[in-house]
Structure 1
Amino acid sequence: MDMLLVKEIGETATPDQRLIRQGAERLTNAELLAIILRTGTRALSAVEVATEVLQQVEHLQALRHVTLEELKAVPGVSNVKALQLLAVVELGRRLAQKPHVESYTIRSPADAAAYVMAEMTGLLQEHFVALFLNVKNQIIYQKTVFVGSLNSSIVHPRELVRP
C-alpha cells in the first residue's frame, strides 16, 4: 500500500474530513455549505452544488434573504436541502443576536446601537426601533415602531407617544 503525503491528503480530503483535521475556520464557504448539503448529484459534487448556491446569491450574507424557490432552482438542491439551508441561515441569525438581558444598561447612543446591531444588520429596509428603559436605563422592552423604505424611515413624534 502506497503512503500518501500530507499535502496529497489535503487535496483529496472531503470537506468533513478537512473539518475534523483542520477546523471549521480553515474551510471555504462552499465547503461549509457542502457539509450541510451532505451530498451532490451524479454530475455535481456537494462542493460544486454549494458553489452554485453561492454564485446564485452573489455573497454569503445574501443567503439571509434567499427564498425556498430560489434555492430549489439551483441544480442539485432539493426541497429538503433548501429547507436545511434556510434553517441553518436562521440559526446563524439567531446566534448573532444578543440574548435579551434584563439588566442591559444603555449609557449612550452607541450602547443602544450595539444592542440592536446584530439583528438589524442585513435588513432590506430601514427599521425604526424603540428601546424602552426603566429608571436605571435598563432595557425593559424593544419594539419596531416603523418599517420604512430602502434607505429611509420617517417617523413623526406623535407616532411615538400615542395615548
Structure 2
Amino acid sequence: MYTYRLLMDNFIKSPLDQFEVRDLLSLDAPIIGNLSLSLTNIGMYLTIAGYLIFFISLLCTNQNKILPNASSISQESLYSTVHSVVIGQINEKKGQVYFPFIYTLFIFILINNLIGMIPYSFASTSHFILTFYLSFTVVLGSTILGFSKHGLKFFSLFVP
C-alpha cells in the first residue's frame, strides 16, 4: 500500500497539476562537487516526444511499396506543406539548406502540443523556459547566419 501511494503521488490529480514541474528521479552525488542529476516530468515528456517522433517516422515509411498506406500519405502531405512554406518564405535553393531544421522543429512542437492536449498529461510547451530556449536558439542562429552572409549590411534589412 505504501509503494502504491508513493507511485500515485507522482501522477497528476487535477487539471492544473500539468503545469507543475516535479522530480521523478533524482541522484545526488556530494562527492563530485555537489552534483545533482534529476529526471523531471518535463524531461520525461520531452524524451517521450522524441521517441514518439522517431517511431512515428519509422511506422510511416512506405518501405519501397508501390501503393502508399494512409500513414505514409499523411506524413508526405505534412512534409509537403512544411516544404512549400519554407520554399515560399526562403529561396528555392537556400530554403533546401534550412528545411531539415525547420521541419524537425515543426514536428517537435506539433508532437509536444498534441501530447499536451491529452487530459492529465504534462504540457511541456506551456512552460516559458522551453519556448524561450527554442525561440532564442532560432533567433540567435538567424542572427549569426545573417552576419556571416551579409556582414554589417544585415542591419539594413530591418530598415524599410
The TM-score, its normalising length taken from structure 1, stands at 0.29
Higher relative contact order (CA 8 A, sep 6+): 2
Please state which structure has a larger fraction of its residues in helix.
2
